[in-house]
Amino acid sequence: MTPSNPLFLNRLIGKAIDLVIMLAMVSLPLYPAGALAAILYILICDGLKDGRSLGKRVVGLRVVNAVTGKNADFKESIIRNSPIAVAALFFLIPLWGWFLYFIIGIPVLAMEVYLMRSLSHQARLGDTMADTKVLEWVET
């Protein structure tokens, strides 16, 4: 898959929107509630209605179970987003957390994008762990 693939680009935009939401939650002045809310959002976001996070709704994508074809549920969302949530755990560490996020979390995100771009079926690590795939949203 090439980076000019519309699905790839939409996935990047959708995840970027979700990460902006996560960072906005982390920035809430109610430490550690903001960081915990951000981690919770990232974990369950793809299990929201119709297997669509807020970012995926904007770009017209959804997450489905690769075997059954049914929309992702909360369990699959938690599994597929756990690599990103683990990186977000650094936000719970006062002062050093942002530094650790940039040292460890950003490379985790970069690896996810690399896998999504490199593999023929565009599966990132989280998709492989949860046996999910991302499809374009089709209104039924």
Strands (E) located in the chain? 61-65, 132-136
Question: pTM here?
Answer: 0.86
For the stretch 70-112, pLDDT in tens is: 999 999 999 999 999 988 888 888 888 888 988 988 898 899 8
6, two tokens: 């519309």
pLDDT bucket at 1, cuts 50 / 70 / 90: very low
Decide if pLDDT at 5 tops 90: no
pLDDT of residue 55: 96
75, two tokens: 């369990």
Per the CB < 8 A criterion, the answer to whether 18 and 55 are in contact is yes
18-54 in b/e burial notation, b at 16+ Cβ within 10 A? bbebbeebbeeeeebebbbbbbebbbbbbbbeebbbe
3-state DSSP call for residue 71?
Answer: strand
- The closest alpha carbon to 87, from 103, 99, 105, belongs to 105
Distance from the Cα of residue 133 to its chain's centroid? 12
pLDDT of residue 4: 56
Stretch 63-70: mean pLDDT: 95
3-state DSSP call for residue 126?
Answer: helix
